[in-house]
């Protein structure tokens, strides 16, 4: 049986890579003595599928994985046993048996909540104008580093919505809806850095959390659970 599991990544583990996150999940499944199916062949691996990778430095309440088990187990038991062995900062929020849920590789949008702290009081009208420029821009270039090189990439087509939710003199809460997944991903940290550039600020203190990830096409949204 296959279970879809929703996990949270807290501030304690926001700097671990996707590879280290996957290793932590596999180790927790072994420690919980859960019988996971393994792939066939010489190099056998547990049959686990992961949703869109999370940028390092960001917390999340929407990390999804599919795990194929060799045993029948209840969702409540699975959640309890995993949470007992998972390290601080990673927690199972929910489970659901995967009987026809949307494949995780199809997830193509993520929503982020960003709390930004400015060094001094900032004009709200100026901030909203900057957010609008980013939301409506057609060319927003950022530097992206690969294993071999660093290049300029236009992330404007990957930004679907940005808006100001809360404002309090030198603090702002900004919501971003960005592309994520195999078709291309926008890094919310890049969006914040571009905001600072437009505002002529050297640096910003910020905290970013992924609230949800889903599949969107032709105005229709399909959620993982």
Percent of the chain with pLDDT over 90: 83
* Model confidence, pTM: 0.92
Q: Where are the domains of the chain?
A: 2-101, 108-222
Q: Same CATH topology for 2-101 and 108-222?
A: yes
- The CATH architecture to which 108-222 belongs is 2-Layer Sandwich (3.30)
User: Domain 2-101: which topology?
Assistant: Alpha-Beta Plaits (3.30.70)
| Pairwise pLDDT comparison (142 vs 93), residue with the higher score | 93
Query: Which pairs from 173-176 meet CB under 8 Å and 24+ separation?
Result: 173/113, 173/114, 173/115, 173/116, 174/113, 174/114, 174/116, 174/131, 175/111, 175/112, 175/113, 175/114, 176/111, 176/112, 176/114
37 and 70 Cβ atoms separated by less than 8 Å: yes
Q: In the predicted model, is pLDDT for residue 202 greater than 90?
A: no
Rounded to an integer, what distance in angstroms lies between the CA atom of residue 97 and that of residue 59? 25
- Place 204 in a pLDDT band, splitting at 50, 70 and 90: confident
Position 15 scores a pLDDT of: 96
pLDDT at 189: 94
**127-181 pLDDT, tens digit each:** 999 999 999 999 999 888 777 788 898 999 999 999 999 999 899 999 999 999 8
pLDDT at 184: 87
What is the pLDDT of the chain when averaged over all its residues? 93
What pLDDT was estimated at residue 133?
95
Q: 67-76, 94-103, 161-170, 199-208 — which is least confidently predicted?
A: 199-208
Q: Identify the pLDDT of residue 218.
A: 86
Mean pLDDT in residue range 60-65 = 98
Please count the helices (runs of H) and the strands (runs of E) in the chain: 4, 11
Query: Residue 189: which residues within 8 A CB-CB, separation 6 or more?
Result: 55, 57, 58, 206, 208
Where does the pLDDT of residue 203 fall: very low under 50, low under 70, confident under 90, or very high at 90 and above?
confident
């Amino acid at each position: 049986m296959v279970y879809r599991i929703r996990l949270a990544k807290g501030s304690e583990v926001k700097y671990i890579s996707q590879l280290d996150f996957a290793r932590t999940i596999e180790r927790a499944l072994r420690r919980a003595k859960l019988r996971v199916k393994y792939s066939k062949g010489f190099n056998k691996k547990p049959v686990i599928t992961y949703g869109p990778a999370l940028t390092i430095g960001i917390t999340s309440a929407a990390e999804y994985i599919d795990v194929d088990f060799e045993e029948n187990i209840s969702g409540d038991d699975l959640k309890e046993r995993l949470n007992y062995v998972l390290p601080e900062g990673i927690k199972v929020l929910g489970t659901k048996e995967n009987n026809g849920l949307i494949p995780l590789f199809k997830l193509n949008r993520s929503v982020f909540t960003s709390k930004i702290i400015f060094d001094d009081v900032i004009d709200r009208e100026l901030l909203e104008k900057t957010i609008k420029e980013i939301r409506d821009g057609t060319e927003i270039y950022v530097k992206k580093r690969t294993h071999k090189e660093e290049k300029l990439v236009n992330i404007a087509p990957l930004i679907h919505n940005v808006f100001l939710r809360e404002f309090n003199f030198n603090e702002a809460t900004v919501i971003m809806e960005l592309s994520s997944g195999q078709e291309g991903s926008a890094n919310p940290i890049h969006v914040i850095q571009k905001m600072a550039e437009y505002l002529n600020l050297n640096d910003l203190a910020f905290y970013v959390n992924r609230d949800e990830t889903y599949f969107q096409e032709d105005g229709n949204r399909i959620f993982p659970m």
